[in-house]
Amino acid sequence: MHGELETARARAAGDPRDVPRVDRMPADLDAHRRDTRAPDQLFKIIEPTSTSCSEEALPVRTRDALFCTPSMKTVLVTGASRGLGLELARQYVHKTKEGDATPAWRVVVCCRGDPSQELSDVLRQGRHDGCDTLCITLDVACSDAFDANFRNALKSIGRIDVLINNAGVCIGRECAVGNVDYDAWTRSFDTNVMGSMRVLEHCLPHLTSDATVVNISGRMGSIGRVLSGLGASSATTQDVVYRTTKAALNMMTVCAAAEMRTNPKTKSVKVIAVDPGWMNTDMGSRGGTIKAPLEPRESAAGIVALIESLTPEDSGKFLNWRGEEMPW
């Protein structure tokens, strides 16, 4: 698997905008290229009519037409406005078919609020190049909005081949025994653990028979690393809130993978946890106070290559963005 990963990662790490163009494009591509509408009109947005999680928030409104290519492979990425989620969306928007320059994927992204300008630009460029894209306003910690808003969106999506649970928060970082912010801990679990399970449960009827589910975890959730002395010094004094949510997400991954294997309909669905590495994002750099060694684009390219190389035997594993196994 490692050789295939290196080849795929090298291909994915190139500038995704440097995609060769050929004459054989979708029939409606010229219309996309001539389109001068605003970014939010170039991709569909499905969002609650209210920002609250009340019953009034359940109706949805849609803009633009339904997907033009319902049979095309579909990836769904949560937490896509910035950081790793944004780069994963960018990678998939610009992926093309082998020996062809036509888009290979439909790309569905979820954001807690309005999409960032950078995400809007990525999706607009994708539509310009003939890629079907969909943006859903979704707070994974809000169960009421989930039930109607997300379900209605999934009806228009149809199939899901790759689900990437990337949405997460890192709050209460200075918590330690004797100084625990239990509200922050509860909010973190609601987003990082239960939010990922909510997304998986709602997407389950739409997963293809050989789909891949990726839960973005992290080395900070590895109990094995702490027990072996790696990261042990900081684990005892800070980040107990974030670390415990990622450890719980790892266990959720193992349980979900085991359940998939016992069902004939989902026995080939792969569920893995992935450590994306210490990235130079707002979260990883602690608001710009330190410099993380890994750029999100490099991590995203590695994760996309990893997904392409997975087999059913990999289900239930904890891997890093290079495809190497991590200690639980």
For residue 46, give the nearest of 161, 154, 143, 136 by alpha carbon: 136
Tokens of 108: 């569905």
What type of residue is 293?
P
Q: Work out the average pLDDT over 226-230.
A: 76
What pTM value is reported for the model? 0.81
Q: Work out the average pLDDT over 257-264.
A: 97
68-87 pLDDT per residue, tens: 666 689 999 999 999 999 99
- Residue 276: pLDDT above 60? yes
pLDDT score of 159: 94
User: For the chain, what is the mean pLDDT?
Assistant: 80
In what order do the strands lie in the sheet containing 73-78? 60-61, 44-48, 133-137, 105-111, 73-78, 160-165, 207-216, 270-275, 318-320
- Domain 2-14+26-320 is classified in which CATH homologous superfamily? NAD(P)-binding Rossmann-like Domain (3.40.50.720)
Pick from 99-103, 233-237, 284-288: least confident: 233-237
- Residue 21: pLDDT above 80? no
pLDDT score of 67: 59
Q: What residue ranges do the domains of the chain occupy?
A: 2-14+26-320
Span between the terminal Cα atoms of the chain, in Å: 21
Tokens of 215: 């839960």
